Amino acid sequence: MKRRSDRWTVVRFVAQSATVGLAIAFLVVLVRPDLVNPPRERPNAPVNSYADAVAASSPAVANIYTERTLTPPGVGAGGTLRGGFLGSGVVIDREGYLVTNWHVVQGADQIRVQLADGRVAAPEIVGTDPETELALLKIDLPDLPSIELGWSDELEVGDVVLAIGNSLGLSQTVTMGIVSATGRGQLNVAVFEDFIQTDAAINIGNSGGALINSRGELVGVNTAVTSSSARNQAPPAGIGFAIPVNLVRGVMAQLIEHGRVIRGYLGTEVVDVSSREAAARGIYGPAVQLRTVTGPAESAGLRAGDILTHVAGQRVFYRQQAMNIVASTQPGERIEVRATRLDGGTITTFAVLEERPPQEGS
């Protein structure tokens, strides 16, 4: 009996030791998983590889497929066609908000979002802002990836950037380039323009996709490429444009909170005035001229034909600049406006801004 008792004592000791050992091993794996599955080393990895940046951001870049009913030119009633279109989008957070270009979803009868992991969802349109070419969608799926947002105001010409999107229907296509310029406007792509210019290749299907920096942070939303107006001439290569992420942040926040973007409105239409034309009025450098005057501008005493030189204390040189200053000011705020009259006189006045009326497609 004693020998049998000793045997069971040994068995219990071994079992207890094994249990304790497994518990310790579990804790080690929980705290230091790298000891069991060490990170994959790439002994011959290129020094200038951007694989880590792509791996961190690409799961949040989605394909967008839309269908629209089209009426070809010259075709009467009943001659409509259904067309399929490509685009891209970026999952901004794990709640399912996804940003893309307005033209990607404009007029769509059906929208389908496909994530990088293959899952498909029909999104809700939270809001659109045609004036910046942005749209915000929302998808309802668990365990969504998201992308880290960078700061576009930190970009400098020469910084490396990568464009990720559904290029020509080839999902998760990555192209590389540099920032060629910042603050590009007067492209007639959107009403309010402040584009990042890049030579990273942007093709059909890339619209709404991610422009990331070398750390994998989103710095822009790819939007447009230049086109050639000359017949039988290929479009210029290496010139694409992206909406800066700082602008995306503001538009997204307002669409979530209000369903629209609230902007200031002066009640004017303006056109650019060249340096030569301005000089004839005694103004040094280009400026903008009022074509029509209504609402707040009319109440402030401005007239059609006045040449604006300063808005809210800033010297304005171009139409786009003046519009951006007014739009970025909240309705109800009072701003100072300085202008030169056609007869050579000057006026300094104050206008209380209204809310900019909704634009087509908003």
Evaluate whether 317 touches 273 at the Cβ level (below 8 Å): no
Q: Three-state DSSP class for 333? A: coil
Long-range interactions of 114-122: CB distance < 8 A, separation 24+? 114/62, 114/63, 114/64, 114/65, 114/171, 115/59, 115/62, 115/91, 115/141, 115/144, 115/145, 116/58, 116/59, 116/60, 116/61, 116/62, 116/145, 116/171, 116/172, 117/59, 117/145
State residue 287 phi and psi, 5-degree precision. Answer: -155, -165
pLDDT at 30 over 90: no
Give the pLDDT band (50/70/90) at residue 349: very high
Q: How far is CA 185 from the centre of its chain?
A: 15
Fold of 264-355: Pdz3 Domain (2.30.42)
pLDDT at 225: 78
Fold of 152-242: Thrombin, subunit H (2.40.10)
Q: What is the pTM of this model?
A: 0.79
Ranges of each domain in the chain: 152-242, 264-355
pLDDT at 34: 47
DSSP 243-307: EEHHHHHHHHHHHHHHSS---EE-SEEEEEE-HHHHHTTT-SS-EEEEEEE-HHHHHTT--TT-E
Give the pLDDT band (50/70/90) at residue 260: very high
For residue range 312-340, list pLDDT tens digits in order.
999 999 998 999 999 999 999 999 999 99
pLDDT at 13 over 70: no
For residue range 58-89, list pLDDT tens digits in order.
999 999 999 988 767 666 666 666 778 999 99
Give the pLDDT band (50/70/90) at residue 200: very high
Question: Once rounded to an integer, what is the mean pLDDT over residues 346-360?
Answer: 90
For residue range 162-175, list pLDDT tens digits in order.
999 999 889 899 99
pLDDT at 217 over 60: yes
Question: Once rounded to an integer, what is the mean pLDDT over residues 29-33?
Answer: 44
pLDDT at 232 over 70: no
